[in-house]
Structure 1
Amino acid sequence: MPHVLPLVAPTTAGSSVTIEQDHGAVIRRSILPGGVRVFTENIPGMRSATVGAWFGVGSRDETDEHAGSTHFLEHLLFKGTARRSALDIAEAFDRVGGESNALTGKEYTCYYARVIDTDLPMAIDVILDMVTSAKLDQADFDMERGVILEELAMNEDDPGDVIHERFAEAVLGGHPLGRPIGGTPEIIESVSRDAVWEHYTQHYAPSTLIVTAAGGVDHDVVCGLVQSALEEGGWDLTTAAPPVSRRDPSAPVESVHTPEIDVVRSELEQSHLLLGTRGFRANDERRNTLAVYNAILGGGMSSRLFQEIREKRGLTYTVYSFGAPSAETGLFGVYAACTPAKAPEVERLMGVEVDRMAEGVTAAELDRAKGQIAGSMVLRLEDSYSRMSRLGKAELAFGELWSIGEMLDQVHAVTADDVAALASDIASRDRAVVRVGPAR
């Protein structure tokens, strides 16, 4: 039987699941009082440890009144609690050579820290103090508003960021997944501290919290530290609340929009191009086929896009393809940047290569893609942060967690016919085109 953690169960406090992984690693999942989920992966011989506090709430979950709140919270939770100032939080990790940070996505938020294994109790205490007891003072809120506006201005100066945001908007239209993660300057200027506080108290609760830890960790110790930290933070763990379930992957999403969007940026030297369409949801059964398809089309220096557009014709420095999955749907696109005079030809060739994939792939391309995916997958999981992140995303997005060996087996099982069928599907879909650069 596949070594897959049954992530939809157990759901009652005290329940636990243990699964042995490759090379002696052991993953355990427990439900604490209040519905808190704790995942750990003990990796023999690893002296680092990374802990993350995850919430299945991202920019797509904001109401109109709370727009921008998710990104605001990512900043504000580091500004202090009843027990710690912002400096105390920073010094706690600097003192031990560790690091702490947070990430906000469209469907989840994570606050995490990476330390040596002996400092894990401190990391858990600090991260969960931030999660349970953030002050969200008005003065800090006003100051951080300026910081976020600077961050958005920096992103607006990056044509790569601009084109990807506009592409999501073009393909997903008015769906919440089409909104920018960080909000817009207008949203950040208008959101109030009270709205962010309401968003915080509404979504940050025991039944929505997932704690993942990987590296030199002991599961029972982590569970004890988590429960103690949450009790210290004043969270009520006596209510027998079941964990909040994952998103419904069958939820409807509006049909793809197919506009052509031109964003004129006269100060740019290059034209940035992105063409693509609706992709695939995170747990689509074809996700491994998509990985192989993407590697062949635009996933590396030996890919078709790179060889045809850069190596053979010298039309661009950067060209690649990508997939961006979510619970109900996803995005798939091809990106390139080049001088404006070359843009029409580059855009044409991008479309040609997407269409040509439907004609089939060679055995050599298939083997090379599988080797590329297998190698990058293993190398990507060689540190405690990546292992911690894999646990959180498995619970929030996939609903299953395969061992690395089984993941490799699934990739190697993809056939040329599988890739051709997927390629035909993608080639048949309506496409959106976004261009950022000087006027044409």
Structure 2
Amino acid sequence: MVQKTVLDNGIRILTERVPGAYSATAGFWVECGSRHEPSELSGVSHFLEHMLFKGTIHRSAPAIAKQIDSVGGALNAFTSSEYSCYYARVAGHDLPLAIDLLSDIILNSVIDLDELEKERRVILQELHMLEDSPEDCIHEMFARSFWQGNSLGRPVIGSMSSVQSLERHHLVDYLERFYGGGNLIICVTGDVRHDELVARIERLFNGYAAGKKPVSQTPPDGHSCIRSVFKDIEQVHFCLGCSAPPQTHDQRFAGNVLNTMLGGSMSSRLFQVLREERGMAYSIYSYLSAHSDVGALIVYAGTSAGDLQHAVNLVLKELSRFRQAEPMAAELQAAKDLLKGQFMLSLESTENRMTRLAKNEIYLGRVQSPADVVESLQRVSGRHILELARTYLRDDCINLQILGPIRGDAFPAVDMTLG
């Protein structure tokens, strides 16, 4: 059973008690992310996420780590384009400790200057690590090109120059402006009692201001482009993508089914054709990158320079097939069954349940029951897939990014027309 309470300062509290669960997962979600940052502050959301674990007026950074370790729990955080999340997973009887820890880092972090400089070095090393990974680089190249001129195209982590230029006052101002009650969603699943949690949050956040909402963003258009960047490595890595439904659109379920058939599983078309039948790639997959108002369907593969053109053409051929005819009933049902099975298995994790609650609240403003999710997947028809493909898989937004030991002028012209 899901329960929701909204406090006077705007904090939304959602709980789902899971009978028989020994654990509880608590997540504090802040509805502000990298797409809301001005270019000169690129990476500030991610930097702040790191700093909130570096000590509060009540606990030092080692004390935070020791306290969660003392109960065998896990404490972590992540930042995306539209939100940051701070979460903890503990045994149910240790939930009060998890709530106190998470509340403390949100309410009382000191943002110590010495710790900030150390963490800046950590983040710069994180950037170097990403630059050393061609697979990570090609996904960033795609986002930058596809969403060119928009903050969605910038890396969540920021750039070398932006991370080096961020100062303490930037983080403090960002924390004070956007980490208010109106942007805070607290979700807890597992061994939890709603009324007890609400009372604790009310006590901890007494006097907490509502804060300011981030400035609304204009939905960007996806851009068509072919770009090749030389890098002296063994493989050629490429991302080929186009538009897709946003998180809030009714077609999102059809989008998930199409992605599963395309490259979202071992039985998918691209995995079977490029890897199993032709041996062109070890890693080949597709995924949806969906935001509140826009989305992208992206295919990634790592292959040899000699196989690059053939591999790209095979991806384009499979995308074109979705535009030309409805998928066979057996293939469609297999994809839906896979998604339904994965979804039902995910419900065994209190962490997955917590994340689902939060994203439902962020993108839909309501909770969609597991039965509704399964029913929505089952309703996806071949006609829905065809309509989605003809709406989103368009020539004017096909984007291809290439990274590897191949010069731009050495890559033959590719017909990017999907028909």
Encode CA deviations 1:330-368: one digit per residue, 9 max, x unaligned. 111111111121111101111111101222210110110
Alpha-carbon distance, 1:182 to partner: 0.3
Q: CA contact under 8 A between 1:66 and 1:196: conserved in structure 2?
A: no
Correspondence for 2:411: none
Q: Partners in 1 of 2:212 and 2:345 — Cα distance?
A: 32
Alpha-carbon distance, 1:247 to partner: 8.8
Q: Partners in 2 of 1:254 and 1:132 — Cα distance?
A: 34
Alpha-carbon distance, 1:67 to partner: 2.5
Correspondence for 2:404: 437
Supply the AA of the counterpart residue of 1:398.
Answer: L
Correspondence for 2:413: none
Which deviates more from structure 2 when the two are superposed, residues 59-68 or residues 290-299? Answer: 59-68
Q: Is the counterpart of residue 189 in structure 1 residue 164 in structure 2?
A: yes
Q: Is the counterpart of residue 348 in structure 1 residue 339 in structure 2?
A: no
Correspondence for 1:227: 202
Encode CA deviations 1:69-116: one digit per residue, 9 max, x unaligned. 101111100000000000110011100100000010000001010000
Alpha-carbon distance, 1:417 to partner: 1.0
Supply the AA of the counterpart residue of 1:432.
Answer: N
Q: 2:264 aligns with which of 299, 302, 312?
A: 299
Q: CA contact under 8 A between 1:272 and 1:335: conserved in structure 2?
A: yes
Q: CA contact under 8 A between 2:143 and 2:154: conserved in structure 1?
A: yes
Q: Is the counterpart of residue 320 in structure 1 residue 320 in structure 2?
A: no
- The alignment partner of 1:50 has SS state of strand
CA 291–40 in structure 1, closer or farther in 2 if over 3 Å, else same: same
Point out where structure 1 has 5 or more consecutive residues left out of the alignment.
1-25
Q: CA contact under 8 A between 2:242 and 2:393: conserved in structure 1?
A: no
Q: Is the counterpart of residue 367 in structure 1 residue 336 in structure 2?
A: no
Q: Partners in 2 of 1:274 and 1:300 — Cα distance?
A: 17
Q: Is the counterpart of residue 410 in structure 1 residue 376 in structure 2?
A: yes
Q: Partners in 1 of 2:393 and 2:151 — Cα distance?
A: 26
Q: 2:298 aligns with which of 327, 333, 343?
A: 333
Q: Partners in 2 of 1:426 and 1:206 — Cα distance?
A: 37
CA 200–244 in structure 1, closer or farther in 2 if over 3 Å, else same: closer
Point out where structure 2 has 5 or more consecutive residues left out of the alignment.
408-419
Correspondence for 2:102: 127
Q: Partners in 2 of 1:400 and 1:220 — Cα distance?
A: 20
Alpha-carbon distance, 1:65 to partner: 4.4
Percent identity of equivalent pairs: 37
Q: CA contact under 8 A between 1:32 and 1:227: conserved in structure 2?
A: yes
Q: CA contact under 8 A between 1:246 and 1:395: conserved in structure 2?
A: no
- The alignment partner of 2:275 has SS state of helix
Runs of 4+ in 1 over 4 A off after TM superposition: 243-248
Aligned pairs, number: 405
- Given the two structures, how large is their TM-score scaled by the length of structure 2? 0.93
Alignment of 1:252-267 (within 5 A): 252-266=218-232
Encode CA deviations 1:108-150: one digit per residue, 9 max, x unaligned. 0010100000000000001110001110011011110000001
Correspondence for 1:52: 27
Alpha-carbon distance, 1:168 to partner: 1.0
Q: Partners in 1 of 2:95 and 2:383 — Cα distance?
A: 48
Encode CA deviations 1:212-233: one digit per residue, 9 max, x unaligned. 10000000111112122224xx
Alpha-carbon distance, 1:155 to partner: 1.1
Q: CA contact under 8 A between 1:58 and 1:105: conserved in structure 2?
A: yes
- The alignment partner of 1:33 has SS state of coil
Q: Is the counterpart of residue 30 in structure 1 residue 28 in structure 2?
A: no
Correspondence for 2:276: 311
Q: CA contact under 8 A between 1:52 and 1:212: conserved in structure 2?
A: yes
Correspondence for 2:414: none
Q: CA contact under 8 A between 1:289 and 1:419: conserved in structure 2?
A: yes
Encode CA deviations 1:145-186: one digit per residue, 9 max, x unaligned. 000001111111111211111111111111111111000111
Correspondence for 2:410: none
Encode CA deviations 1:191-217: one digit per residue, 9 max, x unaligned. 111111111111111222111100000
Correspondence for 1:95: 70
Alpha-carbon distance, 1:244 to partner: 7.3
Q: Partners in 2 of 1:254 and 1:112 — Cα distance?
A: 31
Q: Is the counterpart of residue 78 in structure 1 residue 53 in structure 2?
A: yes
Alignment of 1:57-72 (within 5 A): 57-72=32-47
Q: Partners in 2 of 1:244 and 1:403 — Cα distance?
A: 31
Correspondence for 2:363: 397
Supply the AA of the counterpart residue of 1:381.
Answer: L
When the two chains are superposed, the root-mean-square deviation of aligned CA atoms in Å is: 1.6
Q: Partners in 2 of 1:429 and 1:134 — Cα distance?
A: 49
Alpha-carbon distance, 1:254 to partner: 3.7
Supply the AA of the counterpart residue of 1:132.
Answer: L
Correspondence for 1:160: 135
Alpha-carbon distance, 1:420 to partner: 1.4
- The alignment partner of 1:322 has SS state of strand
- Given the two structures, how large is their TM-score scaled by the length of structure 1? 0.89
Alpha-carbon distance, 1:421 to partner: 1.5
Q: CA contact under 8 A between 1:275 and 1:334: conserved in structure 2?
A: yes
Alpha-carbon distance, 1:246 to partner: 9.7
- The alignment partner of 2:289 has SS state of strand
Q: CA contact under 8 A between 1:112 and 1:127: conserved in structure 2?
A: yes
Q: Partners in 2 of 1:197 and 1:246 — Cα distance?
A: 16
Q: Partners in 2 of 1:305 and 1:426 — Cα distance?
A: 19
Supply the AA of the counterpart residue of 1:426.
Answer: Y
Q: 1:426 aligns with which of 382, 385, 392?
A: 392
Q: CA contact under 8 A between 2:178 and 2:214: conserved in structure 1?
A: no
Q: Partners in 2 of 1:65 and 1:300 — Cα distance?
A: 39
Correspondence for 2:179: 204
Q: CA contact under 8 A between 1:321 and 1:332: conserved in structure 2?
A: yes
Supply the AA of the counterpart residue of 1:438.
Answer: P
Q: Partners in 2 of 1:74 and 1:229 — Cα distance?
A: 20
Alpha-carbon distance, 1:433 to partner: 0.5
- The alignment partner of 1:112 has SS state of strand
Q: Partners in 2 of 1:282 and 1:427 — Cα distance?
A: 17
Q: CA contact under 8 A between 2:189 and 2:351: conserved in structure 1?
A: yes
- The alignment partner of 1:84 has SS state of coil
Alpha-carbon distance, 1:245 to partner: 7.5
